[in-house]
Amino acid sequence: MKKRILAVDDDPMNREIIAEILGDEFDVHFACNGREALDRAAESKPDLVVLDIMMPELDGYETCERLKARDPYLKVLLVSAKALPSERLRGYQVGADDYVTKPFDPYEFLAKIRVFLRLSFAEEVGQMKSTLITLLAHETRTPLAHILSSAQLLEDERTFESREERNDLLGIILSGAQRLQTIFEKSMFLFQQQSGTIALERTRLELGAVVRSEIDRVRTRVSGVTLEYEGSEEIAIEGQEPLLRQALGILLEQAARRSPSNAPVRVRVESQEQGAAITVSDAGVSPEAESLAHYFEIFHVSDIAHHSDALDLDRPICASIVRRHGGSIRATIPEEGGLSCLVVLPSEEDAKQVA
């Protein structure tokens, strides 16, 4: 899959030049100003941002600072027609990784982009390993404690008055072991998807049929909730069907479990300018608005060592599958409340270009 670059410039001519230099090798997205760049970056999760400094309203420095505040590992290259040392210094102070002066040599510019993308990928994988180890250590502590304490009690037969007590402890051990197995399996799957160690095997898929099939499956798993489907039956995409079914199943099942029994989960499939769109909306309790930007992030925990909520690996798995297919995913809160999740996947023709 091609690496995704967000190029931000208010000059159409500059955007055309960047598209000509990078378009064959990378999946290039564009924004015309800083505010649009922040929105596009939140939606498309670029691997690198090429950011012009001189822009109206929100200049490149402030945009860079905000981007880095969201994701310190995102690579940002500032672009300017000026090359004063003071400007370079200010760029580095707001977190920029490098500074490119216009007009730039196309070959040098392309080489620099390649280097920073390799660095970004290596840092991301390294950070993911570190975070994964820390979270696994925290998340496995409780089930391991339950298993060990129950096993120690079972070791001394004098502590039991009935067979039922032994069975209760065996149940605790089994439950803890199953929880550990689930954590490790999902963590390894997530790491493989995020690091791209397993290649995608794409086939042509009728998106409407796949979504309706997953809706039927979720209906058998979550009772008492209605799932309503609306959309086109003629939208085709290219992807690895089992993976996309897994991602859709996660969205649908979480929406069904969140939604009250008297309110349906609405699922819509439609064609948009950006590609094939799937919207899953429920009427459950809305999450905190400030958490939406990180709703699908890998292990987004404010305090890794002391978080108390159960670790949700399913949403990051869903997002990782979508992004490996060249798509984007985001969560919003509708005016009427609840939660709406939007997945946009490349159309069949676009998927062939980014494969």
Q: Summarize pLDDT for 265-321 with one digit per residue, the tens.
A: 999 999 988 789 999 999 999 888 877 877 887 655 544 444 444 567 889 899 889
Same domain, 66 and 86: yes
Is residue 300 one of the residues assigned to a domain?
yes
347 Cβ contact partners less than 8 Å away, ≥ 6 residues apart: 235, 236, 237, 271, 275, 276
Residue that finishes a domain, picked among 161, 195, 229: 195
Same domain, 209 and 306: yes
Q: Which residue has the tokens 């196309």?
A: 106
Count the domains in the chain.
3
pLDDT at 324 (0 to 100): 86
Q: Is 295 helix (H, G, I), strand (E, B) or coil?
A: coil
Is residue 183 one of the residues assigned to a domain?
yes
- CA distance linking residue 246 with residue 188, whole number of Å: 15
Exposed, middle or buried: residue 256 (CB in 10 Å: 0-12, 13-18, 19+)?
Answer: buried
CB-based contact 51:29 (threshold 8 Å): no
CB-based contact 90:113 (threshold 8 Å): no
pLDDT at 163 (0 to 100): 76
Is residue 131 one of the residues assigned to a domain?
no
Which portions of the chain are predicted below pLDDT 70?
Answer: 1, 83, 119-138, 156-161, 194-197, 298-311, 348-355
Host domain of residue 32: 4-121
Is residue 234 one of the residues assigned to a domain?
yes
pLDDT at 310 (0 to 100): 54
Is residue 127 one of the residues assigned to a domain?
no
Same domain, 208 and 343: yes
DSSP class of residue 296?
T
Same domain, 100 and 145: no
Residue 33 tokens read as: 């100003």
Same domain, 183 and 228: no
Beta strands 4-8; 48-52: pairing state: parallel
CB-based contact 330:341 (threshold 8 Å): yes
CB atoms near residue 216 (< 10 Å): 11
The domain that holds 209 is classified in CATH as 3.30.565.10
- CA distance linking residue 311 with residue 111, whole number of Å: 40
- CA distance linking residue 338 with residue 160, whole number of Å: 49
Residue 283 tokens read as: 């009427």
pLDDT at 45 (0 to 100): 82
Same domain, 147 and 187: yes
CB atoms near residue 317 (< 10 Å): 22
Please, how many CA atoms are within 13 Å of residue 232, restricted to the half-sphere of its CB? 12
Phi, psi of 239 (to 5 degrees): -175, 175
Residue that finishes a domain, picked among 154, 169, 195: 195
Is residue 129 one of the residues assigned to a domain?
no
CA dihedral 69, 70, 74, 77 (to 10 degrees): -50
Same domain, 277 and 189: no
